[in-house]
Amino acid sequence: MSWFFISVFSIFLFCSCCNSSTTDSLDVFTRDVALKTLVEHRPHTGAVYKAVLPANLSGVEVFVVGLRSRRLWNRGAEKIGCFHIPSRTKTMPHVKRLALVYQDLGNLSSRFYRLPGYSFLTSVVGFLAYDATDTSSKSARRVALNTMGKPIKIQFPNLTLEEGMLTKAKCASFVPNGTVYLSEMRSPGVCNTRDQGHFSIVVPVMKKPPILRYSWVVAIVLGVLTAILGCYLGMVCMRHRKRKKFQDMEEHAEDDSVLENRWVCGSKMPSGGVVRTQPVPENGFRHLASPDHFI
């Protein structure tokens, strides 16, 4: 089996991954701008030109290079963006001249392409081949590339991967019919393909455990329960203090009472002390009995 069938591990994600109408419109627009750029510069074979894009595509870069089919067969195409097309590559069907259009979608990558469950480590880049035999034509047909089994290398620059991320990163290939192929990287930051299309390096999105996903709900519930418990304990403490204060007042009143308490038939009743009142004569003097009266 070829390297391609060994590396691809059969993950197909259909039209939900990208909006085909939007990406097709983008490809048609960049094709027209790129071919117009070729006409304006009267290009030399192998010269790379940058196309000027409108402000709403700020961040996207488009380059174009015109080649003769014979040169592509003999020398391939090196350093067209991050793509390296090997020699002995031919167009299908055969054309005399072709235009290779290179795209770098930059910060608009996720606008045109989506891959559920994965995040982009690099921007989406692509290259498309068109028949450029007649550059005066309003529309140029796309042509396929046959590399005779050799891989087209895609070198993503300025990509630094940690050790743990290196084993998880995959090469994503977006083909025109909306299918996405995921394959292993041949080396860090390098992906291989056999045909034109759009490519990126992606990693699986780490899903949060359910307990962390709903932690804010748990925090709210615990907060409400804590508030309710705090109010209840506060009310209990207030009632206890009032009861204690009332008991202290009762005890204080009983201690200050002049009357004594006595139990009468099982009931506690106030009782005054016994005081004998001495008789007082009408003239206000007391007659003290002398011992002589008793003689």
Claim to verify: residue 80 and residue 120 sit in the same structural domain: yes
CATH number at residue 9: 2.60.220
pTM: 0.63
Please tell me the distance from the alpha carbon of residue 23 to that of residue 120, in angstroms, as a whole number: 17
The backbone torsions φ and ψ at residue 257, rounded to the nearest 5 degrees and listed phi first, read: -70, 140
Res 294: pLDDT: 47
Claim to verify: residue 144 and residue 236 sit in the same structural domain: no
Domain that holds residue 230: 208-244
Please tell me the distance from the alpha carbon of residue 273 to that of residue 212, in angstroms, as a whole number: 78
Claim to verify: residue 43 and residue 127 sit in the same structural domain: yes
Q: Which of 206, 229, 254 is the last residue of a domain?
A: 206
Claim to verify: residue 231 and residue 181 sit in the same structural domain: no
- Kindly state the tokens that stand for 3: 């390297």
Res 278: pLDDT: 59
Claim to verify: residue 160 and residue 221 sit in the same structural domain: no
Give a yes or no: residue 259 inside a domain.
no
Q: Tell me, what amino acid is at 38?
A: L
Give a yes or no: residue 268 inside a domain.
no
Give a yes or no: residue 282 inside a domain.
no
Res 47: pLDDT: 85
Claim to verify: residue 89 and residue 131 sit in the same structural domain: yes
Give a yes or no: residue 285 inside a domain.
no
Claim to verify: residue 12 and residue 155 sit in the same structural domain: yes
Give a yes or no: residue 288 inside a domain.
no
Claim to verify: residue 140 and residue 231 sit in the same structural domain: no
Claim to verify: residue 215 and residue 202 sit in the same structural domain: no
Res 230: pLDDT: 84
Claim to verify: residue 105 and residue 229 sit in the same structural domain: no
Give a yes or no: residue 136 inside a domain.
yes
Per the rule left: phi > 0, alpha: psi between -120 and 50, beta: everything else, 46 is: left
Q: Which of 145, 178, 206 is the last residue of a domain?
A: 206
What domain count does the chain have?
2
Claim to verify: residue 126 and residue 93 sit in the same structural domain: yes
Q: Which of 206, 236, 258 is the last residue of a domain?
A: 206
Distance linking the first and last C-alpha atoms of the chain: 156
- Per-residue confidence of the chain (295 residues) as pLDDT tens digits? 443 333 333 333 433 445 566 788 889 999 999 999 888 877 667 788 999 999 989 889 999 999 999 999 999 987 778 899 999 999 999 999 999 999 999 999 988 998 888 999 999 999 999 998 887 666 788 999 999 999 999 998 778 777 777 888 999 999 877 788 999 888 888 999 988 999 999 999 876 655 555 666 778 888 888 889 888 888 888 887 888 777 777 666 655 555 556 666 666 566 655 555 556 555 555 544 455 544 4
DSSP secondary structure letter of residue 180? E
Give a yes or no: residue 68 inside a domain.
yes
Res 255: pLDDT: 57
Cβ–Cβ < 8 Å for 60, 49: no
Claim to verify: residue 217 and residue 227 sit in the same structural domain: yes
Give a yes or no: residue 234 inside a domain.
yes
Res 161: pLDDT: 76
